[in-house]
Amino acid sequence: MDPSSALQELATRASRYSINLNGEISLVQSNAPLRGSTAIVHKGTLTRGGTEVAVKIFHGTPPGDIDPLKRILREVHLWSKLRHDNVVRLIGISTEFGSTISIVSDWMALGDSHSYVQNVENDPRPLLMDIASGLYYLHSHSLGPIFHGDLKGYQAGPALIPPRASLPVMPFSATVMPNLSRVRDNLPLRSTSLMFHDFLAACTVLKGHTDKVLSVAFSPDGKRIVSGSADSSICLWDVQTRARVGSPLRGHAGWARSVAFSPDGEWVASGSYDKTVRLWDVRRGAQAGSPLRGHSSKVLSVAFSPDGNTVASGSTDKTIRLWDVHAEAQLGLPLEGHTDAVQSVVISHDGSRIVSGSHDKTLRLWDLDAGVQIGSALEGHGGMVFTVAFSPDSRLVASGSDDNTLHLWDTRTGTEVGRPLIGHGGAVNSVAFSPDGMWVASGSVDTNVFLWDGRTGARVGTPLRGNAGWVRSVAFSPHAREIAAGTENGSICLWNAKVH
């Protein structure tokens, strides 16, 4: 088949998914084209409506060689399925310029990112945030990870500035641009060039406890924080004013080891070294009902179900117990299977499962309604599992251990995702997913809070430090605007988290 016939056939194929723009583009001759290593970008207009477009004409294809054109067409077909604010919008293709396929996309009126950031009057930070958003969308796409060009920032490349001054990312796979880097799930990624944490303000310190803060949680509306401490008290805090609300809640006769808000924000559950679980009325600032007794040893963790009717608790007695919030009574028999203390329990966001982490170095999944273990124990940590967390879609679990690592697990298959997340220099005491599932925060004995990409496992930016000793607990606010950490010196560190 001669090249012209082949191009015509490709144009016909392109029309099947409505992106063939032959006969509808006029190049603007007054604008000098922008030249890149693989293509030349012309400014053009659509004959219908006069919309300004960028026409990227690939060069370097040997005459008569149709295979590169077919590969480009396949990539364009993929691109046509992408919908995201930070991915350049594909308008269509044309086969009328340069005996090759030309890609037509929005013209970036403010130019390229390289020029944009050279202007000292422009704040480059929003660009980095939008890069991250676009990259995450591409790397976690339902079609599979989508690769992309480098981010040099020139108009002929993928980093462009649209009128709203953010940075879209133009995707192409390694079949089109062989020099692109692949996202690999099987490597323990340790860092990324997008340093979000460089732009987080210094932490605000909330003081009120007289001993280490063991657990922190945000209310569902993000307006309150609850904290449990080794001073046996529970405190409520106003996020906006950074002040304690009312007097400490007292009643426990031992460390208030774990606290959790109910989904409606009306109640707080707490678990203590005094072997009890207690419920607290947030509005009244007082204990509600009698202590829930049943564990034979310290209660290390509590969690509410999404409907607010059930509380799960884990204990050093090696069991998990379920409690009816309204009847103030235990539900069924204890969940048994762990061979050592149950340090952490969480109920999935769909309310169907519990995940537990134990000093026996395993995680276990449980059917909440049936009260039975699902599958075999999840093994992989080399030390005690101190913390577990479900992703918002309940498909992933993050875990942290005194082996200094985090692991990610697929809840559907019960298998580990990728390799351990390495970086902490001490035991990982707490992990938390951001509300959108994009990030995992981890707090450690090494006094740092790290942020990780929840899908690639890459550590993002520099550590968050509050200079307050060991980090005992971390939590994201519901809108991911703040990250809170409970620390060894009795304070809570609160950062403004502009990560998305």
pLDDT tens series, the chain, 500 aa: 565 666 666 666 655 554 677 888 888 887 777 776 567 888 888 877 678 888 888 765 555 566 666 666 666 767 777 777 677 777 777 878 876 778 888 777 666 666 666 777 777 666 667 667 777 777 666 666 665 544 444 433 434 444 333 334 444 433 333 332 333 333 333 333 233 333 344 688 999 999 999 999 999 999 999 999 999 999 999 999 999 999 999 999 999 999 999 999 999 999 999 999 999 999 999 999 999 999 999 999 999 999 999 999 999 999 999 999 999 999 999 999 999 999 999 999 999 999 999 999 999 999 999 999 999 999 999 999 999 999 999 999 999 999 999 999 999 999 999 889 999 999 999 999 999 888 899 999 999 999 998 877 888 877 888 777 899 999 999 987 889 999 999 999 998 865 43
Place of tokens 């604008």: 31
Extended beta strands in 130-266, E state: 204-207, 213-218, 224-229, 234-238, 243-249, 256-261
Contacts of 138 (CB under 8 A, 6+ apart): 82, 87, 145, 146, 147, 148, 169, 171
Within 10 angstroms of residue 480's Cβ, the number of other Cβ atoms is 19
Longest Cα pair distance anywhere in the chain, in angstroms? 86
Task: Tell me how far CA of residue 445 lies from CA of 230, 274, 406, in angstroms.
Answer: 16, 24, 13
Task: Tell me how far CA of residue 352 lies from CA of 122, 273, 291, 368, in angstroms.
Answer: 48, 28, 26, 5
Cα–Cα distance for residue pair 463/224, rounded to 1 Å: 25
Cα–Cα distance for residue pair 99/145, rounded to 1 Å: 31
Write the single-letter amino acid at 72.
I
Judge contact between 260 and 224, C-beta under 8 A.
no
Cα dihedral 387, 391, 397, 400, rounded to 10, equals -30
Place of tokens 């419920």: 279
Judge contact between 227 and 209, C-beta under 8 A.
yes
**Exposed e or buried b for every residue in 226-236, given b needs 16+ CB within 10 A?**
bbbbbbbbbbb
Cα 429 from chain centre:
19
Q: Give the model's pLDDT for residue 252.
A: 98
Cα–Cα distance for residue pair 453/104, rounded to 1 Å: 32
Residues in the chain: 500
Q: What is the DSSP letter of 357?
A: E
Q: Give the model's pLDDT for residue 184.
A: 31
Judge contact between 139 and 145, C-beta under 8 A.
yes
Cα–Cα distance for residue pair 165/122, rounded to 1 Å: 9
| 396-401 β-sheet, strand order | 385-390, 396-401, 406-410, 415-421
- Alpha helical stretches, state H, 1-124: 3-14, 67-79, 113-118
- Alpha helical stretches, state H, 157-310: none
**Exposed e or buried b for every residue in 251-264, given b needs 16+ CB within 10 A?**
bbeebbbbbbbbee
Cα–Cα distance for residue pair 340/346, rounded to 1 Å: 17
**Paired tokens of 484:** 């809170």
DSSP assignment of 272-310: ETTSEEEEEETTTTEEEEEEEE--SS-EEEEEE-TTSSE
